[in-house]
Each structure stands twice: as structure tokens, then as C-alpha cells.
Amino acid sequence: MKAAILHSLDRPLEIAQIPNPEIGTGEVIVDVVAAPVLPYANEVFNGQRRYPIELPIVPGCGAIGRVSAIGPDATHLKAGDWVFCDPTVRSRDDALIPDIALQGWSSRGEGGLRLQRYFHDGPFAEQVRVPTENAIRIGEIDSDEAGRWCALNVMLVPYGGLLSAALRAGETLLVSGATGNFGSACVAVALAMGARCVVAPGRNAQALDDLKQRFGERVRPVKLSGDEQADRERMQQAAPCPIDCVIDLLPPSAPTTAVRAALMAVRPYGRVVLMGGVGMLGGAGLDLPYPWIMRNDITIRGKWMYPTEAVTLMAGLIRSGLLDPGHFDIKTFPLVDANDAVSHAAANGGPFRMTVIRP
């Protein structure tokens, strides 16, 4: 099969023929129809993000495709089924503390790296081999819509955070990093889940205006000044009621002061979810006042990715019309132009923009 291969961090992807993946027990082979290219893929491929990947690798993170072959343990999947290839691979030998790897992308800890060595190659190829539980049915779709369904890959990340925070219909959410790729998707997902309103802070006035135009009065934009205390007060004032929940999705380049300004805007007894990348590149840590956390009974938790059932639930949100992947503007590249796709994704990231490779 044809695939894009990353051989080293100082070379572009090589398009080459490699052997088709071989199926084993507990595995599924999927014909890749569309694979998203994340806006920061170039930062992963050149080593800037310092992701623990072992080369060479066929990269990529998630895909939409059709089942080609199933193992003997599959009881519902069948050839031809449309599936989302969930890149979040979990080890099966410890239900309490599973190791996690993002297939074709990254891993967490030594156990995750060992897991990645087996489920190694991602979907920048004509086929991909995934664990049985990671080929999740999404129902019938038109092949031409496969690229748009790649929006699952972006929306599922903040959805995992909102599920972990137990966001309820009628609550007010603050999205820290609302003008970014994942943050803007979080606004759409939260509104689909029934949030009363979403406070959307950011520096990009154009992106904030776009959010307001897309979703109306339930979005409350806040233009950030960089003054931590002033920004916090403006976020709180923008909300029609105390802020029940804050989710942070800021990238590694953002200052910790921006995270803290948003986090501490939450009401007493509120919840905070940290899903961004602040601190991944070094620098100051997130300094939070112990007395404020304790006396206000604040719940703070970290969250990486999302539970398996989130894919089925989100497909239901889309099928019901509550969540519209049509918000995403899709630019498609053939596999042979994978390097152009990576460059395009880097130059054209941002709210509701997606670059897709179609093998």
C-alpha cells in the first residue's frame, strides 16, 4: 500500500510503498478514506513539540474509513462499516491504570511507548490496523462527507473534557483558548450539550466576532488585554450568572497568567478541567493559591483525550442535528501531497478550519 513515512525530524515525509498491515486477534484493518492533519503536525514532525515517537513511523491522528477485515473477536463490526479510527489506544492488561498511546502520534510514559511500538503506524496511508475497540461505527455516510466527519477528531477532545466535568444543560462554561482550533470546537460542542452560554475569551477579535456570528447570544466574547486581574473581572462580567465550569485548551506557547486568569474566574464550588499544553515547552508552572482552592471548594482535574463511548455519543449529537460538522471548512489533499497538506494545515489553522488527506 501507499503511505507517508516520517524517517527523521529533519526530513519531509516520504511517499512510498510499504506492506499492507496484517491482522491479528483483537484487531481490525480499515481502508482509510479521510485522515485529518492537525494544525501543529509540522511541530510534531520537526521535533519542536518533543513528542515521544520512535522513527520511522507512518504518522497521523485519527481517521474516517471503512472496515476491510475483522478479527475473530469482533461481534458487531463487519466489512464495509463506516468507522472512526480512534487514535487513543489503551493497554488492556490494567483496567485501573491503563497506559495510553495516540497511534501514529504520541504516547504517555514508558508503558505508552511500549504500546505505541505495537500499534505504531497511523492513518497517513491507504490502510491502518487498529485495536478492535478503536474502530467505532458511525453509521452510513456519503464518501464525499468523510472529510467533514474528520471534525470528530477535533471536537472529541474538548468533549472528553466536558464529559469529565459533568457539564449539565443550563450551566455556564468558560472556554480558555476559545479562538483556537480545539477551543472553538469546544464552544460548538458545549452549546450542543445545552450550555446556557459560553464565555469565550481571546486575543483575536476577528475570531471572537466569528464565534458570535455563528452561535449568537449564547456566546459571550471577551477581548483579552494581558492584565490578569482585569481580564478575570471582564470574563466574570461577561457571564449572565456565576461561571460553573472552566475548561483550558490553550497551546504550549500561551502564558500561565492567561490560564490562571480564566481558571480563577470560576464560581465557588465550581469545576476546572485542564486539557491544554501550557508548560509543555518549559517555563513557569501554574501557580494557584492554595487558600482559594480550598476555601472555595474548587474541583480541578486534568484530562487527556476522551472515553471510548464519547465517539458514539458525539455521532448521536451530529445525527440529531444538535452539532453541525458543516461549520468546518475542509481543504483536501491526496496522499502523494502529504507534505503540502502539513504545510497548509500549519498556515491555515484556527477556528473551524481543517486540512484532510484522502488516500
- The domain total for the chain is 2
DSSP state of 21: P
Cis peptide before 98 (omega within 30 of 0): no
3-state DSSP call for residue 95?
coil
Same domain, 137 and 162: no
Q: Phi and psi dihedrals of 214, rounded to 5?
A: -70, -40
Final residue belonging to a domain, choices 263, 284, 302: 302
For β-strands 245-248 and 172-176, DSSP reports them as: parallel
Q: For the ranges 63-67, 110-114, 147-151, which has the lowest average pLDDT? A: 110-114
Cα 141–Cα 149–Cα 211 angle in degrees, nearest 5: 135
Instruction: Answer yes or no: is pLDDT of 284 > 80.
Output: no
Cell of 80: 464495509
Same domain, 216 and 122: no
Name residue 182's amino acid. F
User: Does the residue 322 lie in any domain?
Assistant: no
What is the rounded distance in angstroms from the CA atom of residue 110 to the CA atom of residue 116?
10
pLDDT of residue 285: 82
Give residue 184's pLDDT band: very low, low, confident or very high (50, 70, 90): very high
User: Does the residue 313 lie in any domain?
Assistant: no
Same domain, 197 and 262: yes
Place of cell 445525527: 319
Same domain, 104 and 39: yes
Interval 193-206 mean pLDDT? 96
What is the rounded distance in angstroms from the CA atom of residue 29 to the CA atom of residue 34?
15
DSSP for 136-200, please give it. Answer: EE-----GGGHHHHTHHHHHHHHHHHHHHTT--TT-EEEEETTTSHHHHHHHHHHHHTT-SEEEE
Average model confidence (pLDDT) across the chain = 95
User: Does the residue 338 lie in any domain?
Assistant: yes
Same domain, 6 and 144: yes
CATH code, 210: 3.40.50.720
User: Does the residue 206 lie in any domain?
Assistant: yes
Interval 210-222 mean pLDDT? 97
CATH code, 336: 3.90.180.10
H-helix segments, the chain: 41-45, 109-118, 146-149, 151-164, 181-192, 205-215, 228-238, 256-263, 290-295, 309-320, 338-347
User: Does the residue 223 lie in any domain?
Assistant: yes
Instruction: Answer yes or no: is pLDDT of 102 > 90.
Output: yes
In the structure, how many helices (H) and strands (E) does the chain have?
11, 18
What's the predicted TM-score (pTM) here?
Answer: 0.93
User: Does the residue 43 lie in any domain?
Assistant: yes
Percent of the chain with pLDDT over 90: 91
Same domain, 93 and 188: no
Same domain, 55 and 162: no
Same domain, 130 and 175: no
What is the rounded distance in angstroms from the CA atom of residue 232 to the CA atom of residue 255?
15
Same domain, 253 and 285: yes
Percent of the chain with pLDDT over 70: 100
Asked if 358 and 145 touch (Cβ cutoff 8 Å), the reply is no
**Residue among 116, 152, 110 at smallest CA distance from 131:** 116
Measure the CA dihedral 59/62/64/67, to 10°: 80
HEC readout, 53-91: CCCCECCCCCEEEEEEEECCCCCCCCCCCEEEECCEEEC
User: Does the residue 312 lie in any domain?
Assistant: no
pLDDT tens sequence across 303-330: 999 999 999 999 999 999 999 999 999 9
User: Does the residue 249 lie in any domain?
Assistant: yes
pLDDT of residue 278: 87
What is the rounded distance in angstroms from the CA atom of residue 41 to the CA atom of residue 184?
18
Rounded to the nearest angstrom, the gap between the alpha carbon of residue 19 and the centroid of all alpha carbons in its chain is: 29
Give residue 253's pLDDT band: very low, low, confident or very high (50, 70, 90): confident
Same domain, 16 and 124: yes
pLDDT of residue 125: 98
pLDDT tens sequence across 41-70: 999 999 988 888 899 999 999 999 999 999
Give residue 108's pLDDT band: very low, low, confident or very high (50, 70, 90): confident
Range of the domain at 92: 2-149+328-358
Same domain, 120 and 250: no
Q: How far is CA 14 from CA 6, 18, 261, 340, in A?
A: 7, 11, 43, 12
Same domain, 62 and 131: yes
Asked if 175 and 183 touch (Cβ cutoff 8 Å), the reply is yes
